[in-house]
Structure 1
Amino acid sequence: MDHDSDSKVQKQLDAAMPWVGLYIAAASALCILAMSADAFNSFRRKKLWFPCKYTSLNGASLTLLAVAMKLPMDINTVMINSETDTSAKFTSLLFMFTALNIVMPSLGSMNDKDLFTSCVGLALLVVTITANVSIHTIEVQRFLSQAMIPSVVMLVSLAMLVCLALSVSAMKRSLKLKYEEKHREALEKEEEGFELGDQRREMMKYWVMAESSCPQFVIARSSVCAASSLMTFFFVILYTFVHVIHGIVKYVPGKTPYGVYTKRIIEIQFYGTGIAVILAMLRWFVTISFRCSSTNTWMIEGYWIQTLSNCRNSSAGIKIGPNRWGKCLLDAKWCVLTFCIGVQCFIVLSSKTLIFFSRFMVAPIVLCFSHINMFARRHHDTSPGGDDMDLNYLSSYVLLLDGEVELPTSLV
């Protein structure tokens, strides 16, 4: 009797699983809709570094990602059709991996409190996904390398995101000081007077200062974000190509716990991954196009480690008692933060090295576009030299962080 009752309850639970699949597909579709909206706005405004408006890292986006990641986090559901369910899990891992890169510029728009809470929430989600995938894969003894590799790469991408988050405050402070200095300089020049015809140019310099110091743009053009975009592009393309050849990422008709919605989840998240990869490639190309002349590849700027260094050298919040435990606590804090600073430096150096070698791939393309642009301007300008003079004048008001090369005014 008890066996029949348990069987009936199990059937009722299984009958509800397709509704869960619909829920996952809907959450994935909302994520893709947000990506598409940001991409549309970026193309319309000619900002190919793709600022984040609808894909910002916040409570809503974390909730949607958590729902969309139900498949890789599910270790209780029996894999009836193992090939289809495994394909869905792999696609979800790729989708999450690309989402980490997409939301990176949004870190610049957050205050310290929001940064901390959002990064902790995202880290818990990524670690939970990785742990569940590892447990499930090890237990079933199937597709071990195929599941572990994207999980490890996802953790690396999370580490790069945290690296950026730890540098946001220092970057903002540095740019604020540079903005105030340039603003003072601009006011002094205005007091000297200028012709009425130069009014538009004088107004444009404030716009250039504001746009070049935009926190999201600063994050998007950083070496760590560019390296993450490059890693996202090449890993997803290579991983998908290899596994399509081996027949792992595919849909096999048959019974699955989530019913027909398993196929819908695979399709929606695969399309979302494709959109994210295209955005990552364009963001990387835009960043690398003005880093081709960079010569400070192996230099660690102060803003990368300033926050961690301040925490390490500060004893605020820790009361040292008369016994040795207080000193031991300070020593432990110093050792942990020193290790974190070392990891931070390693991530920055690795990112710069990756960018250094990748720029050789696009240098001929950048040179070609530069010559085409110069040729077009030479044949379409009605007042030769006028626009060049304006661009040179405005470029002096582009705000740069320490170690950054000159940005093209057209990019701003």
Structure 2
Amino acid sequence: MAYNSTHEYLNIVDRLTDVYNIPNNITDSLLGYLKFVYRSELEDRYSAPMLWIGMYIALASLVCILFMVAELVHGFRSRMLWFPSKYFTINSASLTVISVAMKLPVDLSGSMPGYVDQVAKLGSMAFMCTMMANLLPCLGTMDSNELLSNLAALSIQVITLVVNVCIQMQTGAVSISTHKEDPRIIQLTSPTHISTHPNPVLPFIYVILLVFLLIVYICSSLAILKTKQMMDSKYQKGHDRASKHIQPSPGKIVTVDELEKHVRNHWVMLESSRCLHFITACFNTTSASGVICVLVTILHTYTMSGTIKAMLAKDYDSDYRWSMLVILIVQSIGVLIGTIVPLSRCFATLSFEGFFSM
């Protein structure tokens, strides 16, 4: 296997030695850097598939966005402004897609030297906050075992993301340091001459919001489990009471009116047992997740407003190359679209509270 950069470097050193007769100690010093050139070339070869991995991340993000749009369309078409989670729910398939979409913030070893690279990693964290706010009401559609298993899987995924981001804050991949780089280094390495850290506080804010959303999920799950117990108990009492009226006496025929009343009572009890999804959408924790989603959108919009110059200058120098720009655009669209449903749920909850208080 030929290593072009390594051979070119060797040829340059040989030419310097033959033409300019540089001393042996300088030649030995230059040859000492040959190992770094060789390693750099190997890294370039190994990182060649990262471009397609970046496109895979963008595709997974697009799938999540399409499911959120489906929820939006379903809610408007069925006139359910609390937007029941029919398509975008927590299950093994959705968690797998979300884990692919979140590869940037959990990548510990990938260097993110460009301004667009840094913003894309922050944008992935904002996108995760948005998806968590959209997924919350689907907890009401699960039975107890499914709820606990899916909550455990989501918790592991969120905790892993938070821990990895905190590690990257220490290593500098996602830095909260306010240290100023040497202007000469910025001029040579960044085409936009911008500091490589868009906002030193944003990673810390997103970590706090993700942890808070996870706490919201845990509190909502505990409330759902307790509500299920109460509703099951009330359903059983209602079922026993309604069944007494339909038991005919020996030789007595049930009338049509009695049969209609019996069916109506059981239909009401069935709908009451299924309305936990609606009750979950009206939880205060769901409204809190909507407020967090709006805050995340404002922060991300502010970040994106200062990124246009870097995007036009193609300031993305990571191994993902131009796919970082695609990821940033797709996930930014997801943040904006994903805010509509949680915000609408907040207004719907206020409307229902006002209606029931009358």
Q: Deviation per CA, 1:286-312: give whole Å up to 9, x if none.
A: 11112237xxxxxxxxxxxxxxxxxxx
Match of 1:177 among 233, 237, 260: 233
Q: Does 1:274 align with 2:306?
A: no
Alignment partner of 1:157 is 2:213: yes
Equivalent residue letter for 1:119: L
Match of 1:228 among 289, 295, 313: 289
- Offset, 1:207: 4.8
Higher relative contact order (CA 8 A, sep 6+): 2
Q: Which residue of 2 aligns with 1:129?
A: 161
How far is 1:7 from its partner? 3.5
1:213 aligned residue: 273
Amino acid at match of 1:129: L
Q: Secondary structure at the match of 1:167?
A: helix
Letter of the aligned partner of 1:166 in structure 2?
A: L
Give the Cα separation in 2 of the matches to 1:249 and 1:210.
Answer: 57
> TM-score, structure 1 length as denominator?
0.63
Aligned amino acid, residue 34 of structure 1 = F
Secondary structure of the residue that 2:79 maps to in structure 1?
coil
Match for residue 75 of structure 2 among 42, 47, 52: 42
CA deviation map 1:180-214 (0-9, x unaligned):
34455556778999987x96x98666555434432
Deviation at 1:284, TM superposition (A): 1.2
**Alpha-carbon offset, residue 94 of structure 1:** 0.9
1:222 deviates by 1.6
1:42 positional shift: 2.3
In the aligned structure 2, how far is the partner of 1:284 from the partner of 1:270? 22
The corresponding residue for 1:147 is 203
- For 2:346 and 2:308, the matched residues in 1 are separated by 29
| 1:90-129 pair list within 5 angstroms | 90-129=122-161
- Name the CA shift for 1:5/1:238 in 2 (closer, same or farther; >3 Å): closer
1:54 aligned to which of 84, 87, 90: 87
List gaps (5 residues or longer) in structure 1. 294-404
1:264–1:248 Cα change, 3 Å? closer
SS state at 1:292 partner: helix
Deviations 1:331-382 (A, max 9, x none): xxxxxxxxxxxxxxxxxxxxxxxxxxxxxxxxxxxxxxxxxxxxxxxxxxxx
Paired residue type of 1:154 = L
CA deviation after TM superposition for structure 1 residue 119, in Å: 1.7
Asked whether the equivalents of residues 117 and 316 of structure 2 are also in contact (C-alpha less than 8 Å), the reply is no
- Scaled by the length of structure 2, the TM-score of the pair is 0.72
Residue 168 of structure 1: aligned partner: 224
In the alignment, the residues of structure 1 paired with residue 327 and residue 273 of structure 2 have an alpha-carbon distance, to the nearest angstrom, of 39
Matches within 5 A, 1:231-380: 231-233=292-294, 235-244=295-304, 251-252=311-312, 253-257=314-318, 258-292=320-354
DSSP 3-state at the match of 1:144: coil
**Contact 2:126–2:297 (Cα < 8 Å) also in 1:** no
Q: Is 128-137 or 179-188 further displaced after alignment?
A: 179-188
Aligned partner of 1:20 among 53, 56, 73: 53
Give the superposition deviation at 1:247.
5.0
CA distance in 2, matches of 1:132, 1:163: 24
* Contact 1:24 1:265 (8 Å CA) reproduced: yes
Q: Distance in 2 between matches of 1:69 and 1:47?
A: 30
Q: How many residues align?
A: 293
RMSD: 3.1
Q: What fraction of aligned residue pairs are identical, expressed as a percent?
A: 29
Cα deviation digits, residues 107-134 of structure 1 (max 9, x gap): 1222333222222221122122112222
How big is the shift at 1:170? 1.8
Native 8 Å contact 1:240 1:249 kept in 2: no
Residue type of the alignment partner of 1:226? S
Bigger radius of gyration, 1 or 2? 2
CA contact (8 A) 2:123 2:300 kept: no
Amino acid at match of 2:150: S
Q: Following the alignment from structure 2 to structure 1, what is the Cα–Cα distance between the partners of residues 100 and 269?
A: 40
From 25, 31, 47, give the equivalent of 2:64: 31
Q: Distance in 2 between matches of 1:249 and 1:71?
A: 22
Structure 1 residue 167, shift from structure 2 partner: 2.7
Question: Structure 2, unaligned stretches of length 5 or more?
Answer: 1-5, 7-33, 178-196, 249-253
Please tell me whether the aligned partners of residues 87 and 248 of structure 1 are also in contact (alpha carbons under 8 angstroms). no
Paired amino acid for 1:40: V
Q: CA deviation at 1:62?
A: 1.2
